Amino acid sequence: MQKNYVSDCGSFYFVGIGGVSMSALAVLLAKMGKKVGGCDRCDNSFTRRLENMGIPVVVGDAGDDIADYEVVVFTDAVPENDRSLLAARRSRLPVVPRGQLLQMLGQSFRNVVAVAGSHGKSTCTAMIAHIFAFAGQAFACHIGAEDREFSNAYMCGRTYFVTEACEYKRNLLHLKPKIGIILNCDADHLDCYGTAENVREAYAQFAAQSVCAIKLYGEMQKAEGITFGFDNRADYFAKNLTGNGGRFSFELYEGKSALGQIELKVCGKHNVLNALAAAAAARLCGLSFEDIKGGLEAFEGISRRFEYIGRINGVTCIADYAHHPNEIKAVLKTVKQVRKGKIFVIFQPHTYSRTKLLFKEFVNVLSNIEHLLIYRTYAAREYYDDAGSALTLSRAVRRSRYADGIEGICSFVDGAGADDTLLVLGAGDIYDIALTLVDR
C-alpha cells in the first residue's frame, strides 16, 4: 500500500512552486499546519502570495535547505534532470509528482468532488466552491486559476475537497472521488494520449472510478452517470435561456421538476453548462436550490476567463485562457454578443505539439478572424518544432500577422480604434505581456 505523505509527513518542498496548482497545494498544506517551502525559475503573483504567508520561495534552483524537508513535490513542467530534483534524490528524499500529492491530499477530507474535462474545469470548480460557501459548508478548494474571492486555494474545513482533475499525462486517474464531473472530452494533449479515443477512454475510466459520475448529456455513452446539458432528456438541464450582453439567465430543471431561475454574472453560453454541472454536484451533496442559486449568482468569474484587464492604447482589452480550437470558437462567439465594433485578436499557441497535432482545427477557427496576430509559441515543457510553431501556423492562416516581440503587438494594436475590442488569447505568457501594456 502506498504511503500517504500528507498524513505521515510534516514538511514539503515544491519544485516549481510558482505554478497555479503547485502554489495552491502549498497554501493548503500550510493551512493544515505543514512546513512548506519551494523554488521556481521566476517570481510571480503566486510566489509573492506564498512569501506573504511566510512560506520561503527561492528564485532559481533549490538551496541546501531542501534537505531540511521530508518530501519533495514536482510538477510535470519540471524535467527529470532538473538540478533541484537531482539534489533531492542525492539527499534520499522521496520525490512525488504533483498529481499523486493531490490524491494524497484528498484523502484528508471526508468527500472529494473532482472536476475533469478538456475545458471549463477552473470555472466549474470555482462555481462549486461558491455554492458550498453560500451553503456554509466546511470545505477546501484547489482551483486552476484565481477566483476573485478564493484565489486558487481556500480552506474552511474538511467535509468537502473540491478540486480540478487535470487530464495531462492521465493525472486525473490518480483520483477516486465521491463525485467525478466530466464537463466534456474533446481531443487534447495528444502528445501523451496519441488518439482522441484514448482521451475518451481515460475520461471513461475516471467516471468508472468515481462513486458517482456526472457527465455531459450525449457524450461518453458507455459511461454510467448523472447527466447535464441543454437537452431536456438530461437529468439536469436549462430551459428558457435568456441572454443579456453575453450573460445568461435560465430555469434549472431536475428531471421534470423546475427548481427555479438563475442569473449568471459570467459571460458565455458555455458557462450555463458549467453551472449545470456544478448544480448537479451540489444536489448530490444534499444542498438546496436556494444554496445553488445563491452561490452561482455570487460567482463573478476567475482570472483569464473572459477577463476585462483594462485598455491598451485606448482599446478595450479582454483576456481569455483559450488555447484549444473549441475554446477559441466559444470565446469568439461570446465576444460578438458582448462587444460592438471590430474584434482584434492576439493568439499565442501553447506548446508546439498541440499546434502540430490540431493544426487543421486551429487553421479552420483562426481563418474566420478578420484582424489576427499570432504571437510566438509558448513552449512550456517542449523543444522547438517548426511544424508546430506559431510562424508556421501564421503562414497557413490567411489575413494573419506574426510577431515575436512587444513591438509587433503594439504595431498591431495601433490599427484598432476606441470602439473596437482587443481579445488576447492563450495559456502562456501573453497574459502577463498584455498586463504590462495596459494604459496607466
Cite the DSSP H helix spans in 135-229: 190-193, 196-208
pLDDT in tens, 228-271: 999 999 999 999 999 998 899 999 999 999 999 999 999 999 99
295 is written with which cell numbers?
452561490
Locate 133 and state its grid cell: 460557501
Q: What is the CATH number of the domain that holds 127?
A: 3.40.1190.10
More confident residue, 186 or 139: 139
Beta partners for residue 244, in sequence order:
247
Q: Does some domain include residue 85?
A: yes
My answer on whether 202 and 53 are in the same domain is: no
Instruction: Read off the pLDDT band of 64 (50, 70, 90).
Output: confident
3-class DSSP state of 326: helix
User: Which phi and psi angles does 79 have, rounded to 5°?
Assistant: -70, 155
- Looking at the fold, whether 326 and 269 belong to one and the same domain comes out as no
Instruction: With respect to residue 316, please indicate whether it lies within any of the assigned structural domains.
Output: yes
> What's the distance, CA 225 to chain centroid?
23
Q: Is residue 101 part of a domain?
A: no
Q: Using CA atoms, how far apart are residues 436 and 172, in angstroms rounded to an integer? A: 35
Q: What is the mean pLDDT of residues 177-201?
A: 90
Evaluate whether residue 103 is within a structural domain. Answer: no
335/275 same-domain check: no
pLDDT tens digits, residue range 331-354? 999 999 888 899 999 999 999 999
**Parent domain of 275:** 109-298
Q: Which of the listed residues 298, 320, 335 is the one where a domain comes to its end? A: 298
pLDDT one-digit tens code per residue, 271-300: 999 999 999 999 999 999 999 999 999 999
pLDDT of residue 189: 82
Residues 313 and 293 grouped into a single domain: no
pLDDT at residue 150 greater than cutoff 80:
yes
- Residue 249, by phi and psi: left (phi above 0), alpha (psi -120 to 50) or beta? beta
Q: How far is CA 142 from the centre of its chain?
A: 10
Rg (alpha carbons) of the chain, rounded to whole number:
22
Angle, helix 406-413 to helix 430-437, in steps of 10 degrees: 60
Q: In the numeric block, which cell numbers belong to residue 1?
A: 500500500
Same domain, yes or no, for 243 and 125? yes
Residue among 278, 287, 264 nearest 135 (CA) = 287
Cross-strand bridge partners of residue 69: none
In a 3-state reduction of DSSP, which class is residue 123?
helix
pLDDT tens digits for range 23-62: 999 999 999 999 999 999 889 999 999 999 999 999 998 8
Domain boundary among 35, 69, 96: 96
Looking at the structure of the chain, the number of domains it has is: 3
Domain identity same for 263 and 184: yes
pTM: 0.93
Per residue in 43-53, pLDDT tens? 999 999 999 99
> Is 21 in the same domain as 49?
yes
Are 137 and 271 in the same domain? Answer: yes
Rounded mean pLDDT, 355-373: 96
CA 329 to CA 342: how far, in whole Å? 17
Q: Indicate the average pLDDT of the chain.
A: 94
Looking at residue 187, its pLDDT comes to 77
